[in-house]
Amino acid sequence: MAVVASAPGKVLMTGGYLILERPNAGVVLSTNARFYAIVKPLYDEIKHDSWAWVWTDVKLTSPQLSRESMYKLSLKNLMLQCVSSRQVLFESRNPFVEQAVPYAIAAALALFDKDKTDALNKLLLQGLDITILGCNDFYSYRNQIEARGLPLTPESLAALPPFTSITFNAEEQNGQNCKPEVAKTGLGSSAAMTTAVVAALLHYLGVVDLSPLSKFEGSADLDVVHIIAQTAHCIAQGKVGSGFDVSSAVYGSHRYVRFSPDVLSSAQDAANGTPLQEVMAAILKGKWDHERTKFSLPPLMNLLLGEPGTGGSSTPSMVGAVKRWQKSDPAKAQETWRKLSEANSKLEIQFNILSKLAEENCNAYKCVIDKFSEQKSEKVICIYELRFFLELWDILVDCVVCETVWIEQSIEPSQEAVVKALLGARSAMVEIRNLMHQMGEAAGVPIEPESQTRLLDATMDMEGVLLAGVPGAGGFDAVFAVTLGDSGNNVAKAWSSLNVLALLVREDPHGVSLETADPRTEEITATVSAVHIE
């Protein structure tokens, strides 16, 4: 029987660069863009002489890349060797799946007793048939839309068939041949894919049971998925990253503090000949000291992503430049990071206040959101900042100007706390953007390039936009905005006029999930059910 698991993509709203070092926190939002992994036996039954085998077969299929690869898996040392690969586009390996398979099986061997190990071996001797599928949102289809003369709108994206074939960046750059790369939108496809494959394998092998899990609180089973996915992802990348992308793929939206890199030190022993089962046992028993706190956007707020079409950025090279700046000017770097950490905390606090206010007085909260979703915030921001300035100098704040604004905005006393929190969140994001821009200039990398600054300034001046920024490490990837109420459609139209493609991605706070069927079948069923015959 096939097992289908999915894991979401991410948007790192705060914590770029800082999240690499403990105890700095970041707020990461999981999305409705999901990666799917389908695991089933390759053969219907075990041949009579199969116990003499020391290898079993693994087949990996990626329909969107027209890729099919066959592997031999050693049941003795869990080595995975590619024996054939059929690709239409170009030769390429998938290191994330190639690490996920042996590490998931090693975890099973480390946790199972002899009886379960025997059953595991029988199951493995039927082979593994793995299919991976990523939602269209992970990839850029902007070039195809423009080539067809279609408008840069979400409707053009929605018209594409689900799991459309993936396109590639240009093969030539600066007149030189280079390996084509998949054009992505920066949602963390490798982390979501690794997590989905690990989750599907662990459930298929009987290591975890994902079916009864709650979406955030989770259980020890979710923790096992997290440990194996983090390990496989780090090994495939060749470095121990912060892990926020894998964490959100497993647990969903939350506030995250990274694990200590030393917890994966035993993974290096695998290269020195230590059996993978022993390595995985040590990793599972390690002190995983990452921290996560439940978080999601307050009610009536929506995440919106826009693809400006200026090309992606290399996160590793930007991180390297920032680290070199930290070493060359430690005092300035430390001060910038302190201010940035405080600004990140301010934004998180304001969002938590808004969530609490929505719960305590939903009518007042909804009334304010409805009003702000239909107007620009610039004028309100200016007066709010003036009021704050006057408070600092102990000057009477109930001046005619301020009173005029509150009356003009029809703000009742019960709504004032909501307004202050909204403006506080916006002010915190402006501060974050300024500090990130300063850090980029000091490090010599475009964390918020000038083109993105113009776009973000224009976006924050649009009706219904609370705040906007560059996610994660910044650069020329997609920008994000948090919109109020139903203003998202108008923002998407305004972005289109600025040559920015609004994506279909929205926040979905849920993490890894066990699905009921192949998502391709579900899409067909949904389409058929939507047809009305008269």
- 437 versus 400: the higher-pLDDT residue is 437
What's the pLDDT at 244? 97
The answer to whether the beta carbons of residues 130 and 29 sit under 8 Å apart is no
- Domains in the chain: boundaries: 3-168+182-296, 301-392+409-503
The answer to whether the beta carbons of residues 520 and 161 sit under 8 Å apart is no
What's the pLDDT at 301? 97
The answer to whether the beta carbons of residues 261 and 240 sit under 8 Å apart is yes
The answer, yes or no, to whether residue 52 has pLDDT greater than 60, is no
Share of the chain above pLDDT 70, in %: 83
Whole-number Å distance between alpha carbons of 277 and 419: 55
pLDDT for 219-244, tens place per residue?
889 999 999 999 999 999 999 999 99
Adjacent-strand bridge partners of 30: 10
What's the pLDDT at 214? 47
Whole-number Å distance between alpha carbons of 317 and 34: 27
What average pLDDT does the structure give for the chain? Answer: 85
What's the pLDDT at 404? 37
Under the banding of pLDDT at 50, 70 and 90, the label for residue 174 is very low
Q: Looking at the domain covering 3-168+182-296, what would its CATH class be?
A: alpha beta
Mean pLDDT of 14-35: 95
What's the pLDDT at 521? 84
Whole-number Å distance between alpha carbons of 173 and 150: 26
pLDDT for 507-521, tens place per residue?
999 999 999 899 988
Whole-number Å distance between alpha carbons of 296 and 27: 9
DSSP 134: E
Q: Is 317 helix (H, G, I), strand (E, B) or coil?
A: helix
Which range is least confidently modeled, 45-59, 60-74, 253-267, 504-518? Answer: 45-59
The answer, yes or no, to whether residue 126 has pLDDT greater than 50, is yes
What's the pLDDT at 353? 97
What's the pLDDT at 395? 33
Closest CA to 158 of 455, 492, 508: 492
Share of the chain above pLDDT 90, in %: 67
Question: In the Cβ-directed half-sphere of 157, how many Cα atoms lie within 13 Å?
Answer: 22
Mean pLDDT of 66-85: 90
What's the pLDDT at 66? 87
The amino acid that residue 314 corresponds to is S
Q: Is 338 helix (H, G, I), strand (E, B) or coil?
A: helix
Whole-number Å distance between alpha carbons of 507 and 519: 20
pLDDT for 319-331, tens place per residue?
889 999 999 999 9
What's the pLDDT at 413? 80
Token couple for 276: 């993978």
CATH of domain 301-392+409-503: 3.30.70.890
In angstroms, the Cα distances linking 460 to 30, 371, 454, 465, 494 are 23, 16, 10, 6, 12
Mean pLDDT of 443-461: 93
The answer, yes or no, to whether residue 427 has pLDDT greater than 70, is yes
Under the banding of pLDDT at 50, 70 and 90, the label for residue 373 is confident
Helices (H) and strands (E) in the chain, counts: 17, 15
The answer, yes or no, to whether residue 525 has pLDDT greater than 70, is no
What's the pLDDT at 18? 94
pLDDT for 275-293, tens place per residue?
999 999 999 999 999 999 9
Under the banding of pLDDT at 50, 70 and 90, the label for residue 401 is very low
What's the pLDDT at 397? 37
What's the pLDDT at 310? 64
Helix (H) or strand (E) holding 480: strand 479-484
What's the pLDDT at 143? 86
The set of residues, in sequence order, having a beta carbon less than 8 Å from that of 243 and lying 6+ positions away, is: 230, 233, 234, 258, 259, 290
The amino acid that residue 167 corresponds to is T
Adjacent-strand bridge partners of 479: 306
Closest CA to 142 of 312, 303, 8: 312
The secondary structure of 460-471, three-state, reads: HCCCCEEEEECC
Neighbours of 324 (CB within 10 A): 13
- Which position has the token pair 């990130």? 436
The answer, yes or no, to whether residue 218 has pLDDT greater than 60, is no
Q: Is 503 helix (H, G, I), strand (E, B) or coil?
A: coil
The answer, yes or no, to whether residue 4 has pLDDT greater than 80, is yes
